[in-house]
Amino acid sequence: MVSTSTRVVVTGLGVVTPIGTSVEEFWEACRVGKTGIGSLSGFPLDDLKITIGAQVWDFDPKKRLHGSRRDKIITYADRYSWFAATAAAEAVKQSGLQVPFADGYRAACIIGSGAGGLVTLENGYRDLFIHKKRATHPLTLLRFIGSSAAAHVGIEYGVKGPTFATCSACSTAAHAIGLGRDLIRSGLVDVAIVGASESAINYGTMKAWQALHVLSPEGCFPFSAKRNGTVIGEGAGVLVLESESHARQRGAKMLAELMGFGMTSDSKDMVNPDIEGPSEAMRLALTDAGLDASDIDYLNAHGTGTVINDRNETNAIKRVFKNQAQHLAISSTKSMYGHPLGAGGGIEAIVCIKSIGDHWVPPTVNLHEADCECDLDYVPNKGRDQRVTYAMSNSFAFGGFNTVLVFGPAPM
């Protein structure tokens, strides 16, 4: 039976996003409402009708990963593994953990990806079927499998305990974070490197999303009356989790506590969301955290900018928070960096932790006229100073996968 008495804390944060490739740079961009959405480039656009996205630019893997010591082939990996390794390096450095870990069997690494190495796959198929090459790159298989990022990070830091990937579409990172917490609570490990990474922007991916008719040709406008679809992004968000006792024993600085984790499945439809599943996931996370809905000061919404998702999430929040919903600060930071698919929950967990530390909540940018059915406080256009003790992060995915995390202040 999992122990609920073991408190799990966050000691390290790392991100790669279209608006910043370190936590400091990313958070400053959030503070000024920077937008990382623009015209797509870097691959053939051909007949694409949707030609905008949120891409990470000026990212040099050799420069960012020059400090890798044990993982000798990371710079030859897929782009999604580069992002994961970069975010993990930042998080582990901040944690102050000595690496490689002294007891690798007491550490876990759960780095998920909703898509894996799709850039590698498309390039490989182009080589075979368009450029008529007789073979693909010898590392093609290792590059595209969805567990590659977890393996690369695990090798670099000497993780010998549970090492695997989660894959649950847009709930991927939140599942990884919650499962890492549970491994620590169970007593199986003391430390877990958790999160997700995504880099799936290419011609084939854009064609697939375009065919589903959920992409906007103009931008990401969560909860806005003019919203007309989401915008695909990329990036990574990684946390270092530890048991409170392990962190205290080594004198680590604790950034926050991961208090609640709730997960459900709609079990109804692959695309159209349900209110019951998201509501129950939020309720379970609150119960797990030992909190009432009125205790939550800030909620980072899934907020993709599609008509049905934003309306559904609004109604689910109202169901859980009741009268408190009107007084809750809510924002969708995807309005700034697009929808990074499986990585979203990792990046947004960091938003929640930074909000608790700085007592400041980020905005939903481009929100000048809200949908009449999205009538809550979405912190429009400009962030605000506000005391944040407890924060919730929602991740709701295709397939009806709902995952919710609740963070609180670090134990005194």
pLDDT in tens, 35-65: 999 999 999 999 999 999 999 999 999 999 9
pLDDT in tens, 80-134: 999 999 999 999 999 999 999 999 999 999 999 999 999 999 999 999 999 999 9
Q: What is the pLDDT of residue 34?
A: 98
Portion of the chain with pLDDT greater than 90, in percent: 96
Q: Which residues are catalytic?
A: 170, 302, 339
Q: Across residues 257-270, what is the average pLDDT? A: 96
Tell me yes or no: is domain 260-397 CATH 3.40.47.10: yes
Q: Across residues 171-199, what is the average pLDDT? A: 98
Q: Which residues contact 257 (CB under 8 A, 6 or more apart)?
A: 7, 8, 9, 10, 244, 407, 408, 409, 410, 411
Residues shown for the chain:
412
Written as one letter, the residue type at 50 is I
Token pair 């955290």 is found at 289
Q: Across residues 215-235, what is the average pLDDT? A: 97
pLDDT at 272 over 90: no
- Taking each helix axis from N to C end, the angle separating 79-95 and 148-157, rounded to the nearest 10 degrees, works out to 40
Name the residue among 170, 114, 111 with its Cα closest to residue 403.
170
| Tokens of residue 248, six digits | 């205290």
Name the residue among 132, 135, 151 with its Cα closest to residue 143.
151
pLDDT at 219 over 50: yes
Asked if domains 8-249 and 260-397 share a fold, the reply is yes
Q: What is the pLDDT of residue 1?
A: 43
Q: Across residues 367-387, what is the average pLDDT? A: 97
Tell me which H or E stretch contains 120: helix 118-125
The mean of the pLDDT values for the chain is 96
CA-to-CA dists, residue 145 to 119, 201, 238, angstroms: 11, 16, 19
Map out the domains of the chain as residue ranges. 8-249, 260-397
Q: Across residues 8-13, what is the average pLDDT? A: 98
Q: Which of 202-205's residues contact partners 24+ apart within 8 Å by CB, and which partners?
A: 202/43, 202/118, 202/119, 202/122, 203/43, 203/44, 203/45, 203/46, 203/48, 203/122, 204/118, 204/121, 204/122, 205/115, 205/118, 205/122, 205/232
Name the residue among 147, 157, 8, 21 with its Cα closest to residue 93.
157
**In angstroms, rounded to a whole number, what is the distance separating the alpha carbons of residues 392 and 298?**
6
CATH of domain 8-249: 3.40.47.10
Q: pLDDT confidence of 273, banded at 50, 70, 90?
A: confident
